């Protein structure tokens, strides 16, 4: 399959409109490769038919296929172990001091197939910071297919080999016929999944979140879209709450509403007005 420059532009514009993700026009070969696999699945013969469909009518199935084809679902259990260690040893105990009696509310944005929110819940359970449904993790993603997989909590052997500690495998999963593993209801009960476009959809519920994970998403956005997302996050981050971005992401030079904060060996971000209090707590 060979795309014309105009077809490539039309497809890139559609993906940006739907997700905020910017596709490099110089990577036409990548798009051609993905579409070669995709088009037979949705009953289209060529790029011309695809572009015509994108311009003239909205097909939810087609949109879902395209979003899944061009969004990254790379994820694994307890990604960035130093972050999870810092949350358990530093943030959770601190939370008890300035949020006595309040349940944890956590938002996992762009949660993909669920490994991140489930990892968060397992960490909370292991450290006795969540019980009797006193707290929850709201997990969102733009991909319905990813969310459907996440809500089922079923993972193959390869997925289970990516970061899950052996003791957690025994404690929080059960093996199904065929070798797949399903996460236990004791973990799943604390996670609520919902579809969300980070750019255009509101953040779920009217609450403020004590922890917001938005990892490895902003790297695909234009600067003005990063600013838009960070502004939305700021207004929903609770006092003394923390924002967690990907290892290569930052708020510096994008938003003055956040400050980078070293938490153990991990880098997180707090509201600018909370920075001085955090530095005192951390002994800096």
What is the third-level CATH fold of 81-281? Rossmann fold (3.40.50)
Distance CA 260, CA 252 (A): 8
Within 10 angstroms of residue 199's Cβ, the number of other Cβ atoms is 17
Which CATH number is associated with domain 5-70?
1.10.155
pTM: 0.87
Each of the 284 residues of the chain gets a pLDDT tens digit; together they read 678 888 888 888 888 887 888 888 877 888 888 788 778 877 777 888 888 877 766 666 777 777 777 776 778 999 999 999 999 999 988 887 777 667 789 999 999 999 999 999 999 999 887 765 567 899 999 888 899 999 999 999 999 999 999 999 999 999 998 889 999 999 999 999 999 989 889 998 888 999 999 999 898 899 999 999 999 999 999 999 999 999 899 999 999 999 999 999 999 999 999 999 999 988 86
Distance CA 157, CA 155 (A): 7
Distance CA 6, CA 15 (A): 14
Using only C-alpha atoms, the chain has a radius of gyration, in whole angstroms, of 20
Residue 220, C-beta contacts closer than 8 angstroms, at least 6 positions apart: 20, 21, 22, 72
Q: Where are the domains of the chain?
A: 5-70, 81-281
């Amino acid at each position: 399959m060979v795309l014309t420059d105009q077809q490539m532009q039309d497809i890139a514009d559609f993906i940006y409109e739907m997700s905020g993700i910017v596709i490099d026009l110089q990577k036409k070969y990548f798009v051609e490769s993905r579409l070669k696999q995709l088009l037979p699945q949705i009953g289209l013969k060529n790029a011309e038919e695809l572009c015509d469909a994108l311009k003239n009518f909205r097909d939810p199935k087609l949109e879902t296929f395209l979003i899944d084809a061009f969004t990254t679902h790379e994820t694994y259990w307890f990604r960035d172990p130093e972050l999870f260690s810092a949350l358990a040893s530093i943030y959770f105990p601190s939370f008890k001091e300035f949020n006595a009696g309040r349940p944890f509310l956590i938002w996992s944005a762009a949660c993909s197939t669920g490994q991140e929110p489930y990892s968060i819940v397992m960490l909370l359970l292991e450290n006795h910071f969540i019980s009797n449904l006193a707290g929850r993790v709201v997990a969102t993603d733009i991909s319905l297919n990813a969310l459907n997989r996440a809500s089922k909590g079923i993972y193959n052997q390869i997925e289970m080999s990516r970061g899950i500690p052996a003791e957690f495998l025994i404690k929080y999963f059960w093996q199904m016929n065929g070798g797949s593993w399903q996460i236990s209801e004791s973990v799943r009960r604390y996670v609520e999944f919902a579809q969300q476009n980070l750019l255009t959809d509101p953040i779920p519920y009217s609450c403020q979140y004590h922890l917001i994970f938005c990892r490895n998403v902003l790297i695909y956005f234009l600067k003005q879209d990063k600013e838009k997302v960070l502004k939305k996050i700021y207004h929903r981050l609770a006092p003394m709450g923390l924002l967690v971005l990907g290892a290569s992401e930052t708020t510096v030079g994008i938003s003055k509403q956040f400050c980078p904060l070293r938490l153990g060996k991990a880098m997180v971000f707090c509201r600018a007005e909370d920075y001085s209090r955090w530095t005192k707590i951390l002994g800096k």
